[in-house]
Amino acid sequence: MNRFQEILHKGYAQTFEVTKVLFHEKTEHQDLIIFETPTFGRVMALDNIVQVTTRDEFVYHEMMTHVPILAKGDVTNVLIIGGGDGGILREVLRHKSVEQATMVEIDASVVDLCQQHFADISDGAFDDPRTNLIIDDGVKFVAETKQRFDVIIVDSTDPIGPGEVLFTQSFYAGCHRCLTDGGVLVTQNGVPFFQGSEVVDTNRRMGKSFKDNGFYTAVVPTYIGGFMTLGWGCDDTAVRNVSVKVLQDRFQKANISTRYYTPEMHKASFALPPFISDLLAD
């Protein structure tokens, strides 16, 4: 294989030069390939859709994690749905206030292979005693668990194949059920320039369960199409509107070094351009 082509959007594709294929196999749930590239380093794709690269993973993982945790404050218990590469888990555990990070991943093969081929991304997070790794269906877990979480982070694939159920109204209701008072749900929500319907659907479905729901953005180079939207759900409007000064104080106290996230970026990420905010009026 000299090239890998991702055709996620109709009439448009991105192509990677492949220097070496490290793994390629159909798992119980999806087609999984890991390969080396000269531009983005090591890449993993599921069902022919790029999930993570070693060069730009920090953008996505930092914004999915530090925005809800620092907005909420005093977070001790975090649930991660998906996230088999361990990047979200790594960033969650950088917060010393976190006493337990429960990670529910449906595909054990993803976790095993990522620990083998993407050890730098998880950076030992799976060995942290605060980690509780559960191989199970995330929808089933949030519907049945008796635990309660301050933050839930849904690091899912797009709503295709195994990830489709993680974009349903019943799943969002399940997440709401197992959040603490004022707890926050954040979700991966695609690139609205190409996937505007995902924003429309998520906004409608999440709004059935949360008093305050919306989106914030990040730019991840390999998630082609410009801004990526990250879904936000909470019952306390004050959490989304926390001031930059409070965020700065919490960030300083956390003593975390980042490459993308800052309190100022946090605040600015909720300012949506009209082409995205217009989708919320539908």
Please state the φ and ψ torsions of residue 30, each to the nearest 5 degrees: -165, 165
Distances (CA, A) of 147 to 20, 74, 227: 43, 17, 34
For the question of residue 155 being annotated catalytic, the response is yes
Helix (H) or strand (E) holding 170: helix 169-177
Displacement of CA 200 from its chain's centroid (Å): 18
Please state the φ and ψ torsions of residue 162, each to the nearest 5 degrees: -60, -25
CB 133 within 8 Å of CB 111: yes
Which neighbouring-strand residues pair with 215? 231
List Cβ neighbours of 148 (8 Å cut-off, separation of 6 or more): 77, 178, 179, 180, 183
> Which residue in the list 56, 85, 107, 155 is annotated as catalytic?
155
So which residues are the catalytic ones? 155
